[in-house]
Amino acid sequence: MYDGIKLFLTIVGYFFIAYLIGYSTFLFLSVIVGSLDLYKRNRQEKFKSILPTDYYLPISIIVPAHNEEITVVDTVRSLLALDYRSYEIIVVDDGSSDATSEVLAEAFDMHVVHRPIRRRIECRREERVYETSAQKVPLTLIRKENGGKADALNMGINASTFPYFICMDADSVLQYNSLRRIAQPVLEDGKVVAVGGIVRISNDVELENGRVKRYRLPRSILAFMQVLEYDRSFLASRILFDRFNGSLIISGAFGLFKKDTVIAVGGYDNKTMGEDMELVVKLHEYCTINGIDYAIRYATDAICWTQVPERLRDLCKQRKRWHLGLFQSMYKHRIMFCNYRLGAVSYVSYLYFLIYELLSPFIEVFGVFTMVLAWWCDLINVPFMLLFFLIYAVFGGVLTLTAFFSRIYTADLSVSFRDGVKAVCLCLFELGLLRFILAWVRCTAFVGYKKKKLNWGRIERRKIDLK
């Protein structure tokens, strides 16, 4: 029995060494590539390697909303203030039980019109369509039967008139130049079918007409840790994936898509919780299988400000949803697993998401249990284990700080000395504590999975400070 446990723990030990080498190598590469890319873009900006500002790609902005009566008017107001010439705004009210449609119609002088909507993608029926001619760009509000976020987005796509659309959340704010920046990759390369924008955390940031009036890091420790996590895991890794056209996620909070290609793949899947990831995975699969030369890009200078949960309960709810969405998307497109036709998307991106995102919480929780078992059997060198953990945490922390400061320096933002110290301290906590809490939460994401299928997954948010 004892020998069996010993053998088991030895195998587990080797597995974890391989697992950690893999993860730390990926982390190292993504932070290095991400940071260098940010510095390069900063240099490009300084030496005017930017396309002239008076070129515009007509864009439809789709804002799916469900019970957003508190934030939706401010969101639309911020969209109307964007520094862009040719765009339209389509708000899709997905059967709200509050007065989302009414407050919007009243605030922007919108009236019911008999607008027929061409169904190019399946979606629930519209109940009323409102339009107005009193704004600087066309503004449409569609009140439809409840069908979930994906269904609302599909309705928005059906109603949109321009060849490219942007999906965003009703409680997010686009930076004043974000449309110009997100459209740039399309002007640079005709093969681009989707562009991901960067999502920045707006908790405690003061914004005025889509411009940052005062940047400060969140007062909430939980939100602060998410800032660090976003910089390390999302910003850096997505830049790395972008290098080989391997992005598998474009955040639902801000992404630009070529409408015809999205329609060709059937739009957003309303049976999946992570509809944003599912769409991107589907685009990869569709374009590769049909021999379409395509590119999915990531624009690190196209910024959308969004709030993150400040309560652990809300954060857990959000991460459960994300994890379920990840599982559904990966399972649905399991054809991408080790598929030579998809190349690096399959062997690097899909494999990374499978091992280090989908299975990682189980692997990490399993690791903790084996450590307890090893300690119980007296088969572990505790001081060495602690040293190893410490070094691993310092390694992760240093890389997190590198990604964080690279972003701060290259985005012309500044942080106070206090916030800098806070970042140094919290990066260790984030890796040593929050990561394990979230690993457990993601492990338990499948409990009650059927019940959550189409709900909007609400979390408590504060009103964004738009001045």
Partner 1 sequence: MFVQILIYVYLGICAGMILFNIATALLSRRREHRSFRDGIRLELTVSRELDRLAETGAVSERHLRFMERRLRRVNGMAAFDAALERLCVRRPELTRSYLTALNGVTITLAEDYCRRDEIEAAYFPYIIKKYQLLGGADDAPLKEVLLKLLNEPSIYCRENAMQALYTSGDAQIIVRALRIIDASSLYYNTKLLADGLLNFNGDKMQLAEALWAAFEDFKVWMQVMILNYFRFSSGAHCERVLALLNDGARDDELHFSCLRYLGRYPYPPAYADLLRYATPSENARWEYAAIASSVLASYPGAETAAVLKRNLYHPNWYIRFNASQSLERLGFGYRDLIDVIEGNDRYASEILRYRFDMRALEEKGKEAAVCMTA
Closer CB to partner 1, 173 or 427, in the complex: 427
Q: Which residue has the tokens 């993860």?
A: 23
Per CB under 8 A, the list member of 46, 340, 383, 450 interacting with partner 1 is 46
Kindly state the tokens that stand for 18: 């391989």
Q: Where are the alpha helices (DSSP H) in 48-98?
A: 72-80
Closer CB to partner 1, 70 or 379, in the complex: 379
Per CB under 8 A, the list member of 106, 122, 145, 189 interacting with partner 1 is 189
Is the Cβ–Cβ distance between 255 and 197 less than 8 Å?
Answer: yes
Per CB under 8 A, the list member of 1, 2, 4, 54 interacting with partner 1 is 54
Is the Cβ–Cβ distance between 241 and 351 less than 8 Å?
Answer: no
Q: Under rule CB under 8 A, how many of the chain's residues touch partner 1?
A: 49
Is the Cβ–Cβ distance between 5 and 379 less than 8 Å?
Answer: yes
- Sheet with 59-65: list strands edge to edge: 111-113, 126-132, 139-144, 87-94, 59-65, 164-168, 254-258, 192-201, 295-306, 173-174
Kindly state the tokens that stand for 302: 């196209």
For the CA atoms of the chain, what is the radius of gyration? Answer: 23
Stretch that binds partner 1, among 130-138, 274-282, 299-307, 329-337 (CB under 8 A): 130-138
Site string for partner 1, 255-294 (x = CB under 8 A): ----------------------------------------
Shortest distance in whole angstroms from residue 114 CB to partner 1 = 4
Kindly state the tokens that stand for 378: 């007296």
Q: How far apart are CA 368 and CA 360, in angstroms?
A: 12
Stretch that binds partner 1, among 1-9, 89-97, 149-157, 398-406 (CB under 8 A): 398-406
Residues 107-126 that bind partner 1 (CB under 8 A): 109, 111, 113-116, 118
Displacement of CA 24 from its chain's centroid (Å): 22
Q: From the CB of residue 384, how many other CB atoms can be counted at a distance below 10 Å?
A: 9
Site string for partner 1, 10-29 (x = CB under 8 A): -------x---x--x---x-
Per CB under 8 A, the list member of 131, 151, 169, 430 interacting with partner 1 is 131
Residues that bind partner 1 (CB under 8 A): 17, 21, 24, 28, 31, 39-40, 43-44, 46-52, 54-55, 57, 109, 111, 113-116, 118, 131-134, 186-191, 387-388, 391-392, 394-395, 398-399, 401-402, 405-406, 409
